[in-house]
Structure 1
Amino acid sequence: MASRILSSVIIGSGSFLPEKAIDNAHFHSSSFFDAQGHSLEGSNETIIRKFQQITGIRERRYADNNMVTSDLGFRAAQRALDHAQIDPETLDYLIVAHNYGDVKAGSGCVDMVPTLAARVKHLLQIKNPYTVAYDLPFGCPGWLQGVIQAHYYLQSGDAKRILVIGAETLSRVSDPHDRDSMIYADGAGAVVLEARESETKTGILSHVTVSDTYSQAHWLRNTHSYNPSLPKDRLYIKMDGRKIYEYALTTVPQVIQKCLQKAGLDLLDIQKVLIHQANEKMDEAMLERLFKLYGHSQVPPGIMPMTVNTLGNTSVATLPTLFDLVNRNQLEGHHFEPGKPVVFASVGAGMNANAVVYQMP
C-alpha cells in the first residue's frame, strides 16, 4: 500500500477591493517635488503620462475614510472562509501580513496595538483561544512569507488549517508631493490553507526566500515629505526606484529558478507566473529575464496575469488578490488548470524576495 503524503493546499480564497476608484486625472492638481525639494519640471499632464507609460497604472483603489487596514483584511478573510466552507473556530493560526498597521484617514499615525491579526480575529468573532493570531511585517513579500510559514506549521503536524491575510492602505502613508505616490493603493486578499493527505504531492511543492540587507536595507524606507514647506516629523513611504528595479530584475528570476529546481520542475511546466505588481514594465522585464535563464527568447502569451493597471500596488495584498481573481475566474482571459503548477513571487522592502511553486489540486 502506497504511503500517504502530507500536502499544504489552498482550500479557499477571498479578496476585498475598495469601491473608490482613483484614476490618474485625480493627480492633475498635485504639486510634485523631487527629493531635494525642487518642483518637478513639466506639466502634471506630462508627468502623469510618463508615469502611466512606465508603470502601466491608470487607476487604483483607495479605502473609504471610515475603514482601516484590519477592516479590509477582515472582509477578505470572510470571503476566503466562505469560499473554503469551514468553521472559523477550526483555524489553528491566523496570520496577517502588513507594513503599517491601521492608519486612520488623515492621521498618518501607525497603529499596531493590538495586532491586526488580533483585530481581524475579533471581527471574525472567533472564540477559540488556540487560534493563534499574529502579524508578519516583511515588506511586499509578507503575504507569501506568511504562506511559507503556514506551510511549515502544516507539514509539522502542528496545525490543520491556517488563514493567511495580506492587507494594506498604502494611500494613507504615501507622500502626495512625490510622483511615486501614484503607484500605491489599498486592498486585501486572503487564503485558507489545509493539511491534506494524498498519494502524490500537491499544493506547495517548494519555496525560496532571500533577505539582502548589507547595502539594500534602506532602498525602501520612511522619510519626510518632498514638499519643503511641510513639517519634517510626519513620515511617508519612499523608495530608490532605479535600485529596486535593478535588484528585482536580477533577484526575482534567480529566486524563481532556484524554487523550480527545488521542485524538480522546468519553467515550461508552469501554467501561470503570479508576480507582485508595482510596475508593469518591471514585471514584464523580470519575466523576460526568467525565460532567458532557461534559454527561451519568447515569453508564452497569457502566462502572467496583470492587475497593476487598474489596482495599483497594494503591497502584501497584491498576490492573494491576484490569486483570488484568477481562482474565481474573475480576471478576463485567465484561469487555473487543475493538476498544473503555478509560481508565486514577490520582492520588496528589506530587501526581501521570495517564491513558491504551488501545484493546483
Structure 2
Amino acid sequence: MTCRAVITGVGHYLPERVVTNSEFEARLDTTDEWIRTRSGIERRHFAAENETTSDLATHAARAALADAGRAPDDIDAIVLATSTPDLTFPSAATMVQSALGMTRGFAFDVQAVCAGFVYALANANALIVSGQASRVLVLGAETFSRIMDWSDRSTCVLFGDGAGAVVLEAQEGQGTSDDRGILSTDLHSDGRYRDLLYVDGGVSTRNTGHLRMQGNQVFRHAVEKLAATAEAALDKAGLSSSDVDWVVPHQANIRIIKGTAKKMGLSMNNVVVTVQDHGNTSAASIPLALSVGRARGQIKPGDLLVSEAIGGGLAWGAVVLRW
C-alpha cells in the first residue's frame, strides 16, 4: 500500500469589493478593451482597508474545513502560501491557526510568489507521505492590491485579492496512477531571472516597494516553463497529457493559459479558467480555481488534474493529482 495525500475539502473567499476594468479608465491611459485583449481580465476583487491576508485565508480555511467535514483541531498542520503576509512575522499561517481556534499542530508560510500554492502542496504532500502529519490545511492567500503602483498601467490592472484552501488527508492507495490524491510534484527556480518580476522593496531595504514586471520576458519564460514542468510532473506519475481531464493553471493571463495548453496539446475545453473574474491573485489563484471549478461541476471525483504556476524568482512547478 502507498500513502497518498488526498483532497477531501476545498473552499475559497473573495473580498466584497469588485473592481471592473472601467474603474481604471478614469485615472490611467487604458481601456476595458485593452485590458481584456492583453490579459483576459474583466474584473477583480480588492480587500477592504481593514481586511488582511490572514483574514481572507481564514474565511477560505473555514469553507474548506466545512466541505471536508473537519474541525480545526482535526488538522495537524497549516501551510499557507503568500507573498503579502500581514506582518514581517509571525507567519500569516499562525494567525489563521489562532483565528480558527486550532490549539494543536503547527503552521508556517511558504513564499514562492505565484508558484506558492504548488510549492505549498508539495510541502504538505511531503509531510503526509513522511508520516509527520495526517491532515494538512493548505492555503493560498494574497492582498496584492497593497503592493501595486497605481500609475503603472502594465501591472496594476492585472492583480486581485483572494484566498483558496484545500484539506489534504492521508489515505491508502495502490501505488498506481489510478490512486486518488497527489501523484507527483515538480519544482524549479532560477534566481538569475529575479529582475523580471519582483517588488522593489522589503524589510532589509527599509522600503515597502511596489511590484515591477517585465511582462514580455515573463510571458516568454512562462509558456515554455509551464508546459515543461507540467509534462515532467505527468511523466513522474507515469502519465501523459492525453490522460489529463483538467488543467487548473495559475490564472495570470489568458494568453499564457492558452499558449501553455496548446504546447501541451490540450484543448481549452480541458482548462479551468477564472482569470476573467479574479485577475491574477498570485498564490491564491490555483486553489480559487479548484474551488470554483468544483462548484461549477467541471471537476468531478476521479478526474486527473495538473496544476502549474510560475512566479517571481523565477520559481515554477507543477502538481499532478487525482480528485
TM bucket (normalised to shorter chain) is over 0.9
Counterpart of 1:182 (choices 157, 173, 179) is 157
Counterpart Cα distance in 1 of 2:131 and 2:207 = 47
Count residues with an aligned counterpart: 315
Counterpart of 1:317 (choices 284, 292, 298) is 284
1:207 corresponds to 2:185: yes
Greater share of residues in helix: 2
Counterpart Cα distance in 2 of 1:7 and 1:221 = 35
Matched ranges for 1:251-330 at <5 A:
251-291=225-265, 299-327=266-294, 329-330=295-296
Counterpart of 1:345 (choices 301, 308, 322) is 308
String of CA shifts for 1:59-85, please: whole Å, max 9, x gaps.
111112221110000000011111111
1:352 maps to a residue whose letter is A
Counterpart Cα distance in 2 of 1:144 and 1:223 = 24
Aligned to 2:25: 28
**1:301 offset after TM fit, Å?**
4.5
Aligned to 1:240: 214
* Counterparts in 2 of 1:170 and 1:258: CA distance versus 1, 3 Å: same
For the residue of structure 1 that corresponds to 2:264, the secondary structure is helix
1:355 corresponds to 2:318: yes
Q: Check the 8 A contact 1:97/1:136 in 2, yes or no.
A: yes
1:302 maps to a residue whose letter is N
1:58 maps to a residue whose letter is E
**1:8 offset after TM fit, Å?**
0.9
Matched ranges for 1:115-264 at <5 A:
115-128=91-104, 131-179=105-153, 180-199=155-174, 201-214=179-192, 216-223=193-200, 234-264=208-238
Q: Check the 8 A contact 1:206/1:262 in 2, yes or no.
A: yes
Counterpart Cα distance in 1 of 2:64 and 2:207 = 39
Counterpart Cα distance in 2 of 1:359 and 1:61 = 30
Aligned-pair identity in percent equals 31
When the two structures are superposed, what TM-score results if normalisation uses the length of structure 2?
Answer: 0.94
Q: Give unpaired runs (5+ residues) of structure 1.
A: 32-42, 103-110, 225-231, 292-298
Counterpart Cα distance in 2 of 1:251 and 1:337 = 28
Counterpart Cα distance in 1 of 2:18 and 2:209 = 25
Q: Check the 8 A contact 1:164/1:191 in 2, yes or no.
A: yes
Q: Check the 8 A contact 1:100/1:112 in 2, yes or no.
A: no
Counterpart Cα distance in 1 of 2:233 and 2:131 = 23
Counterpart Cα distance in 2 of 1:51 and 1:301 = 21
Counterpart Cα distance in 2 of 1:135 and 1:233 = 22
Counterpart Cα distance in 2 of 1:19 and 1:340 = 31
Counterpart Cα distance in 2 of 1:233 and 1:147 = 31
1:320 maps to a residue whose letter is P
String of CA shifts for 1:139-159, please: whole Å, max 9, x gaps.
111111111111111111111
For the residue of structure 2 that corresponds to 1:282, the secondary structure is helix
Counterpart Cα distance in 2 of 1:9 and 1:234 = 38
Structure label with greater radius of gyration? 1
Q: Check the 8 A contact 2:120/2:138 in 1, yes or no.
A: yes
When the two structures are superposed, what TM-score results if normalisation uses the length of structure 1?
Answer: 0.84
1:49 corresponds to 2:33: yes
1:51 maps to a residue whose letter is I
**1:5 offset after TM fit, Å?**
2.2
What is the CA RMSD across the aligned residues, in angstroms? 1.6
Q: Check the 8 A contact 2:261/2:268 in 1, yes or no.
A: no
Q: Check the 8 A contact 2:83/2:111 in 1, yes or no.
A: yes
Q: Give unpaired runs (5+ residues) of structure 2.
A: none
Counterpart Cα distance in 2 of 1:208 and 1:347 = 12
**1:233 offset after TM fit, Å?**
5.1
String of CA shifts for 1:177-201, please: whole Å, max 9, x gaps.
0111000100000011011113453
